[in-house]
């Protein structure tokens, strides 16, 4: 409620809130004027259902009326103490952010030592510690599975963490650095530089040849010429890529966005942009240390 770009909206919302309270009080007052006749019998309103079910003009029950007044008083007190009236923050100064920070601080005080005890252990050794891996698995499911899947096998655009194909390197410390500081990968669009659709098709043919697929040798040869001119800087002359810049290996038939000819051509023509966010501030080094050990252990399972 504090991010309005105009004071008008703050006043607008405040007016609606106050108007709502005033309207409820008005409704209660006009409906509270009904009184029973001297004989104590309520008058019919003229509404009849099911032949003989007649509505009577009884006054509001006292208990119901008082309960309604109590809810209104509660609402007014709440809006004085807490935010709800435009940009007014309430006299207690409560915010969702402060509530979150308090909860995080409490959790860190209670559970932080459980993670800190692993911080000074070597990652490769920690990757063989069953208790640490159970903790790492829970952290992974909570913070990483949305992108990489609960089984860590990834999805389109999100790497499989169980194989041995790493864009930036699969050593324990490299994995930890990736989680701590994040990664930003960019494959630029080459459609213009390659001369349009024909040039893109030629390079895609050569990339398929690198994988070992059957291709048109003449088209692939033309593609190699363009590849040597534009692509070797990142993917190397033999197509094995470069972990220094996160350029994928084009010879292992492992594809981040898909390996069909159509998708390969799309990657070359339009480029790709990927981002692994930094988790240092969010998780802290101790949690990242255990996560890195867990992820490293996954890639060692089938070696």
CATH code where residue 190 lies: 1.10.760.10
What is the mean pLDDT of the segment spanning 59-87? 90
pLDDT in tens, 8-46: 888 898 999 999 999 999 988 887 777 777 777 777 877
Whether 200 and 253 map to the same domain: the answer is: yes
Q: What integer pLDDT is reported at residue 84 of this predicted model?
A: 87
Mark whether 132 and 21 lie in a shared domain.
Answer: no
Same domain for 285 and 144:
yes
**pLDDT tens digits, 190-221:** 999 999 999 999 999 999 999 999 999 999 99
For residue 103, is it within any domain? no
Residues in the chain: 303
Per-residue pLDDT tens over the stretch 156-175: 999 999 998 999 999 999 99
What is the pTM (predicted TM-score) of this model?
A: 0.71
Question: Count of domains in the chain?
Answer: 3
Residue 141 within any structural domain of the chain: yes
Verify that 142 and 176 share a domain, yes or no: yes
Mean pLDDT, the chain, rounded, equals: 91
Asked whether residue 99 is domain-assigned, the answer is no
Q: Backbone phi, then psi, for 247, in 5-degree steps? A: -85, 125
Report the percentage of the chain scoring pLDDT > 70: 97
Q: Looking at the structure, tell me whether residues 151 and 283 fall in a common domain.
A: yes
Kindly report the three-state secondary structure assignment for every residue of the chain: CCCCCCHHHHHHHHHHHHHHHHHHHHHHHHHCCCCCCCCCCCCEEEEEECCCEEEECCCCCHHHHHHHHHHHHHHHHHHHHCCCECCECCCCCCCHHHHHHHHHHHHHHHHHHHHHCCCCCCHHHHCCCHHHHHHHHHHHHHHCHHHHCCCCCCECCECCCCCCCCCCCCCHHHHHHHHHHCEEEEECCCCCCCCCHHHHHHHHHHHHHHHCCCCCHHHHHHHHHHHHHHCHHHHCCCCCCECCCCECCCCCCCCCCCCCHHHHHHHHHHCEEEEECCCHHHHCHHHHHHHHHHHHHHHHCCC
The residue-averaged pLDDT of 227-235 equals: 96
pLDDT top residue among 221 and 55 = 221
* 270 and 281 housed in the same domain: no
Query: What's the first-to-final CA gap in the chain, in angstroms?
Result: 54
Residue 60 has pLDDT above 90, yes or no: no
Q: What is the pLDDT of residue 303?
A: 60
Full domain range(s) for residue 44: 7-81
C-alpha to C-alpha distance for 108 and 257, rounded to whole angstroms: 38
Q: Is the pLDDT of residue 55 over 60?
A: yes
Is residue 101 situated within a structural domain?
no
95 part of a folded domain: no
pLDDT at residue 1, rounded to an integer? 46
Look at residue 46 in the predicted model and tell me its pLDDT: 79
Domain shared by 294 and 245, yes or no: no
In a domain, 249, yes or no: yes
Domain co-membership, 209 together with 270: yes
Where residue 212 falls (left for φ over 0; alpha for ψ -120 to 50; beta otherwise) is left
> Based on the domain organization, do 247 and 121 belong to the same domain?
no
Of 33-47, 267-281, 284-298, least confident by mean pLDDT is 33-47
Whether 297 has a pLDDT exceeding 70, the answer reads: yes
Measured distance CA(110)–CA(131) in Å, rounded: 18
In this structure, the answer to whether residues 173 and 196 fall within a common structural domain is no
Q: Which two tokens stand for residue 116?
A: 């800190």
Mark whether 191 and 77 lie in a shared domain. no
């Amino acid at each position: 409620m504090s991010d309005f770009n105009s004071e008008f909206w703050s006043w607008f919302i405040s007016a609606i809130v106050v108007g709502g309270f005033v309207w409820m009080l008005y409704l209660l007052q006009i409906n509270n004027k009904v009184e029973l006749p001297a004989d104590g019998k309520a008058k019919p309103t003229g509404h009849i259902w099911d032949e003989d079910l007649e509505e009577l003009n009884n006054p509001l029950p006292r208990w119901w009326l008082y309960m309604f007044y109590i809810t209104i008083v509660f609402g007014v007190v709440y809006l004085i103490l807490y935010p709800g009236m435009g940009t007014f923050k309430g006299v207690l100064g409560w915010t969702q952010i402060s509530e979150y920070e308090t909860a995080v601080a409490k959790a860190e005080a209670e559970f932080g030592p459980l993670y800190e005890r692993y911080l000074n252990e070597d990652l490769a050794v920690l990757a063989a510690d069953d208790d640490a891996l159970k903790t790492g698995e829970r952290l992974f499911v909570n913070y990483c599975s949305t992108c990489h899947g609960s089984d860590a096998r990834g999805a389109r655009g999100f790497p499989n963490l169980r194989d041995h194909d790493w864009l930036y390197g699969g050593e324990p410390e490299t994995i930890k650095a990736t989680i701590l500081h994040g990664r930003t990968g960019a494959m630029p669009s080459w459609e213009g530089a390659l001369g349009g659709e024909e040039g893109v098709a030629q390079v895609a043919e050569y990339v398929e040849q690198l994988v070992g697929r059957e291709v048109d040798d003449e088209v692939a040869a033309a593609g190699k010429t363009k590849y040597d001119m534009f692509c070797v800087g990142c993917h190397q002359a033999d197509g094995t890529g470069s972990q220094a810049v996160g350029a994928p290996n084009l010879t292992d038939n492992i594809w981040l966005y898909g390996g069909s000819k159509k998708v390969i051509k799309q990657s070359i023509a339009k480029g790709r942009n990927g981002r692994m966010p930094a988790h240092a501030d969010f998780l802290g080094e101790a949690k990242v240390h255990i996560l890195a050990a867990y992820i490293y252990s996954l890639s060692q399972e089938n070696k």
